[in-house]
Chain A
């Protein structure tokens, strides 16, 4: 029987000719968009699930409650070990990353992803060993594990095992294992791994034993059936004590981030790399739902509209003995066949588009992902959903047409059929209009974000990251003098935190004269002299820190006042009416909200507000000090003349070695760092708009199908009208007016929900565009334009029909 159903389905598909092609193409475009989105979601949600027992693996992260709830992905060295010793976790391993200058043969390589790890690393996290033994490599002080691409880069075609690599200290290392490059679906980023013993040899034991240096990504394996929240509380109780013994005012807690959640939910400080965005996945999932809805209802609409053509067949089948369930099976089989063809077309389309999607949207989708079991399950589920969703309703409706009515040629007609099709088309048009308006707002918002000044200058500035704070601030005056002799370099400054970076330290501020005026959660940053000039941050009043104030501030007692610079938000909060009025005023800096530990400050300048990260975060109260270094690592900013990027870099390299003991640090243009802040939003916006366009295309296919079918059905009417002198425009109006009216109705119905959704989305940005009313007007016109094109196309085709033949046949 199945073969008969399939055979009949094939015949039906063939008999519908061009309508089948339109239907399949519409469905295929929708499915292609859905499959690409699904592949992205599957790819993004499957991170780090390849590690053995990944459900039990978590990364321990620290949250500083008293520092604006700053969450840090890495914790102090001794913490993980203590947890294992106390039996709170089954096992634990640590990783820490450095940028090192390594020498291989006669060549120097600046390696930004050198990881030092505990010897049990491979027992917990999975690495594909291609040669050698990871465990042995990490146990031996000279052992080094490198990835396949590093091996190729360093040694070319030579055998990498047992090759020597020189550490910056001159210690020789030996490649004892080669691992495959890390898969794309991991939050980790490394090119080589050495044991902790090697780190000790380079940096000494201080860092490893420090309870204050949050530099170690610590992964733990939880015991079976453990209650995560309870365990987090126990970990907090155990680990916060040693910290509070050192800094009593710190309040903090620990969280266990499941390893498979890190990519989408991990947005802590010091992540290995920029992670994904769970919210974006929700948007993509919603887009899938809308596109599928439009595509499936295209099919349903078309199947019910063309029922009249098949009425006789339905009637005959019923007369010769087909039961309703047999007819349902028959139509479901047709749906299965059509969806299968559309799916195949969509899959081919997806495979062809994959390289372009990767380039345009910075994805790393690979053909090999198509063999992923999860993808298969989702794809099969999607296939069945479309088969059932598209096929079931028409099957029910068509099989229920009374036999006699069917034999007389009546399809799914009458008021119910007409209203059903209109309602479906109305919903589809409303979705398309809503998506277009929403997409337009997203685009406008991202443009606004990129164009809105953040309060500092981004261009022609190089940022050197993660330099030892003490060395940097101590060396900076001489280094700066030396650098500024160069004609290309304008200014040099250092800071613990620079704009584009999440700030981690907070204090409370209180007016020394009026105690009731205080501000909590004020971001504090330690900066060098010339910081504001280097960054292009506007001074509203006062002056920059002087070079000698660094030393004075560092040695000041709690009774001596240190120079501070406040921003405009603090100025307003402390009740000063002008910036000048604040200059010279005294402040109390409280390192805790209750002002138990304080420093006295004297305002030497007021600077304009700037956005520390992106426009998504609000303007924050900020205070700047000099000399009070809190962070182990700081940043160096070099402002240079436009067009002298390479010269500047070369000069810095040369001077660096003469002034600093550490390796040449990682560097990046400030403009690139800022651009990276919006990368996800920008790519997301582009993707949403592309898929909106596809949704519009699917709707157009639906309209094309219905329109050409309607034209075919009314062929005699049109032939007569043409005979009586109707022109192309008259016929277009007759054929298209129903669609145009529906667009207007859908538009008026969708305005409010779209406005609400748009406002809801925009409100997350501190600076956002208002309602773009022109978009509300443009969207329906865009759709009407597309429909008009379709209608004109169909009517033009009618012009080629032989009128005499139509009238004779009819």
Chain B
């Protein structure tokens, strides 16, 4: 489904250059649940940002079902990202001034989905994630776990082909973290492709494959862990 080929990325400022990714190649198949692990500064979030088209590589290719995404224009990539990829962040990244419902509805608005369909799809995910009672609340009125569920709902509402999660349990306690992981596993079981960055080996156990990184390179691309439970 996704093939990254020799992706390299250097960050530079006036004083220093940092090689964030060096010739990274990675294939992600449809329906996989992949964990990217590594120490701080190893390049795992940078890799996820490349997969999510939030960064452009200095070199290499990004194939998605045969199309080279780096050949696309900026706006085409933006459209692709909005329709094919869903994001979940460690710090939830919800808009504090919007209600739960409005936060979830936001991507559909930008995709210009008709109002009735928007309502139907938002209600679906609200129900699926047991947030219906909270739909009129604002993010700051919710617990961390609930906020992350809203973020997941927002990622799901566009029915993306791939869900990208950047340390989705990083700001949650272990019990809530486990709940979120179970939810992601459920989604994977329903067919979603998920790529997740995590520090936690325990949470990595929920994934079908673990990719390990160090100093901007992949050091283990194929570790298979037993499914938790």
Contact = CB atoms under 8 A, between A and B. Distances in A.
Interface of A: 1, 4, 8, 11-12, 14-15, 312-313, 315-324, 326, 403-404, 407
A318 B107 CA distance: 9
Given A321-B111, A403-B54, A315 B82 contact: no
Given A1-B112, A403-B54, A404-B55, A320 B97 contact: no
Interface stretch (B86-94, B209-217, B221-229): B86-94
Contacts of B93: 312, 315-316, 319, 407
Contacts of B98: 8, 11
B157 to A, nearest CB: 9
A15 B81 CA distance: 29
Contact of B107 (A15, A320, A324): A320
Contacts of B59: none
B95 interface: yes
Given A319-B81, A319-B93, 20 more contacts: A1-B112, A11-B98, A12-B97, A14-B97, A15-B97, A312-B93, A316-B93, A316-B95, A316-B106, A318-B78, A319-B54, A320-B110, A320-B154, A320-B158, A321-B78, A321-B79, A321-B110, A322-B110, A323-B78, A324-B78
B81 A321 contact: yes
12 contacts: A8-B97, A8-B98, A15-B97, A316-B93, A319-B87, A319-B93, A320-B110, A321-B79, A321-B81, A321-B110, A323-B110, A404-B49
A125 to B, nearest CB: 59
B82 A404 contact: no
A404 B112 contact: no
Nearest to A318: B78
Interface in B119-173: 154, 158
A1 B97 contact: no
Given A1-B112, A322-B110, A404 B54 contact: yes
Contacts of B1: none
Closest 7 CB pairs of A and B: A321-B82, A321-B110, A320-B107, A11-B97, A316-B93, A321-B107, A322-B110
A317 B110 CA distance: 9
A320 B75 contact: no
B219 interface: no
A312 B96 CA distance: 10
A4 B106 CA distance: 9
A81 B113 CA distance: 75
Nearest to B56: A402
Interface string B24-54: 0000000000000000000000000100001
A326 B112 CA distance: 11
Nearest to B93: A316
A403 B74 CA distance: 13
B109 interface: yes
B62 to A, nearest CB: 16
A597 to B, nearest CB: 86
A213 B197 CA distance: 100
Contact of A320 (B79, B96, B106): B106
Contacts of A312: 93, 95
Contacts of B96: 15
Nearest to A327: B110
A311 to B, nearest CB: 11
Interface of B: 49, 54-55, 75, 78-79, 81-83, 87, 89, 93-98, 106-107, 109-112, 154, 158
Contacts of B97: 8, 11-12, 14-15, 313
Contacts of A316: 93-95, 106
Contacts of A4: 109
A1 B108 CA distance: 11
Select the residue from A12, A313, A319, A403 with max chain B CB neighbours within 10 A: A319
Nearest to B53: A403
Nearest to A312: B93
A403 B93 CA distance: 12
A317 B49 contact: no
Nearest to B94: A316
Nearest to A323: B78
Contacts of A320: 82, 87, 106-107, 110, 154, 158
A11 B55 CA distance: 30
B158 to A, nearest CB: 7
A312 B111 CA distance: 20
A168 to B, nearest CB: 79
Select the residue from A318, A320, A404 with max chain B CB neighbours within 10 A: A320
Given A4-B109, A404-B55, A321 B158 contact: yes
A324 B78 CA distance: 9
Nearest to B85: A319
Nearest to A7: B102
A407 B164 CA distance: 15
A579 to B, nearest CB: 81
Contacts of B81: 319, 321
Nearest to A316: B93
A15 B109 CA distance: 21
Contacts of B112: 1
Nearest to A320: B107
Given A14-B97, A404-B49, A317 B106 contact: yes
Nearest to B154: A320
A194 B79 CA distance: 79
A407 B110 contact: no
A14 to B, nearest CB: 7
Contacts of B82: 320-321
A313 B78 CA distance: 17
Contacts of A8: 97-98
A319 B77 CA distance: 12
Contacts of B55: 404
A323 B81 CA distance: 11
Contacts of B111: 321
B193 to A, nearest CB: 18
A8 B103 CA distance: 11
Contacts of B87: 319-320
A413 B208 CA distance: 42
Nearest to B97: A11
A262 B147 CA distance: 71
Nearest to A4: B109
A407 B89 contact: yes
Contacts of A11: 97-98
A630 B66 CA distance: 102
A321 B106 CA distance: 8
Contacts of A326: 110
Contacts of A322: 110
A315 B91 CA distance: 13
